[in-house]
Chain A
């Protein structure tokens, strides 16, 4: 089955800095890679996703890059703000209807004012 590794487990940055979270996956058949943000005690919220037919996707301060050859994808947050502080999860799955997702272990991002 799929195995997703996520690094780092914690990341502390100053407000305004950039943050990068990296994930690798093992199943070459995976072609859908979402990122979720989870605040303490709340549900995971999809913030951005990428499919294997593109290498990069951007949405305002958030961008995701994908390298299918190397089987890794990354989340980039620019101009971080304290409200970006949360746990971020990457996931991998197949873009074929109702496939399951395998999640990384999560990265706790702390943005200090």
Chain B
């Protein structure tokens, strides 16, 4: 149990385009999911908390108009990187809480490369 998937696993896009990343909890319901960004050899930086049926909570310094989050169901949250630029290239990872515990289960990550 507690499997989190992400799609796509990697994506290459041109500067100025938008990219959508999906995060799904496969065998449990997740009212809250988290989106992290990880640069090479660096730590996980929380970008935002995604809440089912309400607006996401963004961390300081994260542009909500650039990183659009939609948590439309109990098993799916999406992160859309709008008007992507090369500096947005990174590893994006989502996570979800299994309700019965406080453990965060991570997705496999999406490697975004913006050319």
A43 at interface by CB-CB < 8 Å = yes
| One of A42, A44, A93, A99 near B44 (C-beta < 8 A) | A44
| One of A41, A95, A101, A108 near B104 (C-beta < 8 A) | A101
Cβ A98 vs Cβ B106 within 8 A: no
The interface size of chain B toward A, counting residues with CB under 8 Å, comes to 21
Inter-chain CB contacts under 8 Å: number: 50
User: With a CB–CB cut-off of 8 A, which chain B residues contact A46?
Assistant: 103-105
User: With a CB–CB cut-off of 8 A, which chain B residues contact A36?
Assistant: 106
Bound state CA distance, A106 and B40, in angstroms? 12
User: With a CB–CB cut-off of 8 A, which chain B residues contact A103?
Assistant: 43-46
| One of B44, B103, B111 near A49 (C-beta < 8 A) | B103
Bound state CA distance, A104 and B45, in angstroms? 10
Closest to A94 in B: B102
User: With a CB–CB cut-off of 8 A, which chain A residues contact B42?
Assistant: 105-106
Closest to A95 in B: B102
Cβ B46 vs Cβ A43 within 8 A: no
B49 at interface by CB-CB < 8 Å = yes
B93 at interface by CB-CB < 8 Å = yes
Bound state CA distance, A42 and B109, in angstroms? 7
Bound state CA distance, A100 and B44, in angstroms? 12
A97 at interface by CB-CB < 8 Å = yes
Given contacts A43-B109, A100-B46, A103-B46, 19 further A-B contacts (CB under 8 A): A32-B102, A41-B109, A41-B111, A42-B108, A43-B107, A43-B108, A44-B93, A46-B103, A89-B43, A93-B102, A97-B102, A98-B49, A98-B97, A99-B102, A101-B104, A102-B46, A103-B44, A106-B43, A108-B41
Residues on A lying within 8 angstroms of B by beta carbon are 32, 34, 36, 41-46, 49, 89, 93, 95, 97-106, 108
- What are 25 contact pairs spanning A and B, CB under 8 A? A34-B103, A34-B104, A42-B108, A43-B106, A43-B107, A43-B108, A43-B109, A44-B44, A44-B93, A46-B105, A49-B102, A49-B103, A97-B97, A97-B102, A98-B31, A98-B32, A98-B97, A99-B102, A102-B46, A103-B44, A103-B46, A105-B42, A105-B43, A106-B42, A106-B43
